[in-house]
Chain A
Amino acid sequence: MKTYIIRRLLYMIPIVFGVMLITFILFNVVGGDRSVELAGKTASAETIAEIRHEYGWDKPMYFNTVAAGERGFKGLFDSQLFHHLRKCLTLDFGKSIRDRRFIIDIIKEGAGASLSLTVPIFLISVLAALAISLLVAHWRGTKFDRILVVLCVVGMSMPYLSYIMLGQYFLGYKLNLFPVFGYEPGLAAVQYLALPVLIGVISGLGSEVRMYRTIILDEIGADYVRTARAKGLATPNILFKHVLKNAMIPVITRVVLAIPFLFLGSLLLERFFGIPGLGYLTIEAISSRDDPVISAMTFIGALLYLFGLIATDICYALVDPRVKLK
């Protein structure tokens, strides 16, 4: 397995380089610089020039031949591209254009709030979806199954934003069951997170139950389930011990791959409920074109995805003895 992991890590190098290159092209080459906006409504040409200098936007795009002439070979890499590569590799993304704060500090600050929202949503969703799917699969073909399938389809068809707006309006404002908005760190966060977590869970339940139901139905029809029944095993034992374990491969693919993205938060939930997490940060950065922040979040997202893929493969091997990682 060690060899496998090392090989996968080595495969990551060209992919990571590709991601760095794409983010550079998107935000530096296509996007251009933001000096004019930063200089304010009464900008002067000299302030704009100074801002371009401060952010390194006055450097050549790919190779600095002028600096190479003055400072030798090393100077050749004093360009926007190589500065971008260095920033990504050292995870020192520099400062946010809008807040002028170090991006890494902003990320550290927001990760806690994001996780406090996304981890409960993730755990409750997975457990609830699996439990409901097992029950539905067990009672397949009955009224209960049909009603739930219809509810799942309805749930999947509703836009995510509707859940948020309706939940906030009716459960928060009209019924006053939860705070409409806000966030406090520590234990006090529970009361503020309850509604966004509930919305997050309910909005995702439809698609998850539908998918897990299909997976579990495939397993329930297998020979070993009939054998277990014939031997007189209790239904909960069959469902939770045997069926669930065998249905785990596709479940793992979905679940493990989702874990790294928990760090990135939930864009809409955070914004609508005032949770100062990374999702909120990203949406803010996009709307204000804070390119260094978007670039950092894109790069981190890509890295997390790659690590998620490796983790998924490892989990396959742990859950299913037939899978060998070579």
Chain B
Amino acid sequence: MRFHLKVFTWLLAALLVGSGCRREESLSEEEAAGLKVRYTVAASKVRGLDPGDIGDVTSSSVASQMFETLYQYHFLKRPYELIPMLAESMPQIRDDGLTYTIKIRQDVYFFDDQCFGGGVGRQLTVHDFIYAWKRIANIKYLSKNWWIFDGRIVGLDDFREYTKSVERKEDVDYDRPVEGLEALDKFTLQIKLTKPWPQILFLLAHLPTAPMAREAVDHYGDQLRNVAIGTGPYMLKSWRRGSKIIMVRNPKFRKVTYPIEGEPQDKSNGFLDDSGELIPLIDRIETTIAEESQPYWLLFMQGKVDAAGIPKDFYNQAINPRGTLTKQMIKKGIDLIVREDPSTFWFGFNMEDPLVGKNLPLRQAMSCAWNRREYVEVFNNNRGVSAKGIFPPMFKEYDPNFVNTYTQYYLELARKLMAQAVQLNNGKPLEVTLSLPGTDTLSRQMGQYFQRCMDKIGLKVKVDYYDWPTFQDRVKTKSLQIFAMGWVADYPDGESFLQVFYGPNGSPGPNNFNYHNPKYDQLYDKISVMPDSEKRSKIYREMERIVCDDCVAIFSYHSIAYVPYYKYLKNYKPHVFQYGLTKYRDIDLELRKELIGR
């Protein structure tokens, strides 16, 4: 027994001594070799890397480092401006905006991969775009992104119709011609539209429209989601699902240089220091997936990742009551980006519901009783702007002078409107049901807050909580009365928001309100073919007012992102459409060593 106790004591002592030793920060092989490694963290899993079927933010962020599109947003200029990426120049547009001729670059090659003969990536041609878009049209492929092309390109809808008759997605004949997609030669693409489509260029900068090598699809089949055969500045090195993705510099990437012009203040902010340098400036990207907020934040605080969002529970650790970084963060060499998101969040009314759909005073009363400012303060740590209408402040159609009576917290008016609402209901007391997409504590607190606001005007609210898939199903089948939702613009054009209220887009389309207003629809038909102009912006604002007058939703807030980052991360200019931008970022290795010791 004495012997056992001795061993036990020694083991315990060894453990205690061992525990007292702090782990030394070691350099990875790549860092030791002097390579620049960018460490990022994502709060959700990467679902797949097939751009044709991509629909979530994390997957898009990763895939956009490896796949490219015809156009991209300028990295530095604001307002956001489109510039060529795979295209050689901006398109030639003729026939009243119906025909686009696009020349593509001839120095673009796919990554080397076994799917190509000899394992060497071949040159990109316009056939790769035509194939990728026909693939999205193939109904058997079940792409989430058909909405991009739906009804837009001559003959593409017929191609989709044809795919319905095919038994398996592999049997679709992709050589079947589509009139609106023609290769004039290997490097010239002609697109014919069914009607003018001013937003087309924004969507040609949208990741799902990236070209796809047919050889890759034929070779990998369903496994294409797990590989990335693109043309971009980075290539996939490894992907441990749900854990880590590593991308490395594409050695065959064409010669592209860092922008030489930007906004006036960019020079003094150091964003033009790398002008004319060949990109990408960083050699390797390592993305860690941390879905829980604690490890996500601790990784950032330890300097294991270069930048991160601030989880709600750690907000006070990072930001002081003045809205700036705390001393602790500044001491660590952290800086802060505050960026407006192109988003609007609301509580939508199902206009086909017999109660809320037919009772305008009720909708208006609820909108007036909703305390937006307090909500943003309590639930978003003030990271948001109260909404007055549809457009977020970053959109040029946002009118700072617009006064929407029903989006002001005005209880007196709300009570008057409520009395009218009850009258409309034949004097019977009203009770409504709010549905929230979440069953967690936070959702329940939000539900209670909503109830408390409406209680002040004597409105009884029942709150239902659903998981996200069930909630979606209920919204799309028009089964909900009032639902919490929002919209994040896919491109910097207010039309992205306006489509959400367009009658023909009713459920299961994006118009979850099932709102039909003939005047609004007429205006939408008009603007949907109008090029950008002051006249069009005026109509956009008019449409916003129609929606606000009809009080289709309780417009709640536009979110603001706070992104702390270590100062060694260079060229970290905020960008709303931030896909594929790592190629412009840089790392100051000396400063990194000074700040985090490696």
Contacts and interface: CB of A to CB of B under 8 A. Distances in A.
B302 to A, nearest CB: 6
15 contacts: A34-B469, A34-B473, A41-B55, A44-B509, A109-B241, A175-B19, A176-B23, A177-B21, A181-B299, A182-B244, A182-B288, A272-B295, A274-B289, A276-B241, A284-B242
Interface in A247-306: 271-276, 280-281, 284, 287-289
A181 B298 contact: yes
Contacts, number: 135
Most buried by B among A47, A179, A275: A47
B167 to A, nearest CB: 11
Interface string B236-261: 00001111100000000000000000
A274 to B, nearest CB: 5
A150 interface: no
Interface string B22-49: 1100000000000000000000010110
A99 B473 CA distance: 19
Contact of B290 (A44, A54, A274): A274
A241 interface: no
Given A42-B147, A50-B140, A100-B225, A271 B304 contact: no
A11 interface: no
B469 A288 contact: yes
Interface of A: 32, 34, 36-48, 50-51, 54, 98-101, 106, 109, 165, 168-169, 172-173, 175-183, 185, 234-236, 271-276, 280-281, 284, 287-289
Given A169-B298, A180-B298, A182-B244, A272 B292 contact: yes
A173 B301 contact: yes
A276 B295 contact: no
Nearest to B146: A47
A236 B470 CA distance: 60
B139 A289 contact: no
A168 B469 contact: no
B288 A181 contact: yes
Contacts of A168: 294-295, 298
A39 B225 contact: no
A4 B208 CA distance: 59
Interface string B437-480: 00000000000000000000000000000011110110011000
A45 B1 contact: no
A40 B23 contact: no
B508 A44 contact: yes
Contact of A176 (B22, B146, B290, B510): B22
Interface in B267-312: 288-292, 294-295, 298-299, 301-302, 304
Contacts of B299: 180-181
A98 B241 CA distance: 13
A36 B472 CA distance: 7
A240 to B, nearest CB: 9
A91 B55 CA distance: 30
A179 B23 CA distance: 9
Interface in B9-28: 19, 21-23
Contacts of A51: 142
Contacts of B22: 175-177
A40 B23 CA distance: 46
B142 A54 contact: yes
Given A39-B508, A175-B22, A99 B295 contact: no
B224 to A, nearest CB: 10
A284 B294 contact: no
Contact of A40 (B145, B243, B289): B145
A194 to B, nearest CB: 10
Nearest to A176: B22
Nearest to B301: A173
B144 interface: yes
Contacts of A47: 139, 142, 146
A44 B164 CA distance: 14
Nearest to A32: B473
Given A181-B299, A281-B242, 13 more contacts: A32-B473, A42-B510, A48-B476, A99-B241, A109-B241, A180-B295, A180-B304, A181-B295, A183-B240, A236-B1, A274-B289, A276-B242, A289-B467
A71 B321 CA distance: 71
B158 interface: no
B45 A284 contact: yes
Contact of A100 (B222, B288, B472, B477): B222
Nearest to A102: B222
A43 B139 contact: no
B23 A178 contact: yes
Most chain A CB within a 10 A radius of its CB, from B1, B19, B477: B1
B4 interface: yes
Given A182-B288, A284-B242, A288-B468, A274 B295 contact: yes
Name the 10 nearest CB pairs between A and B, nearest first: A40-B144, A42-B147, A181-B295, A36-B476, A37-B472, A289-B469, A276-B242, A43-B508, A37-B469, A276-B243
Given A98-B47, A274-B289, A40 B147 contact: yes
A29 B532 CA distance: 50
Contacts of A41: 55, 510
A99 B226 CA distance: 10
B150 interface: yes
Contacts of A288: 468-469
Contacts of A182: 243-244, 288
Contact of B288 (A98, A169, A274): A274
A203 to B, nearest CB: 16
Nearest to A290: B469
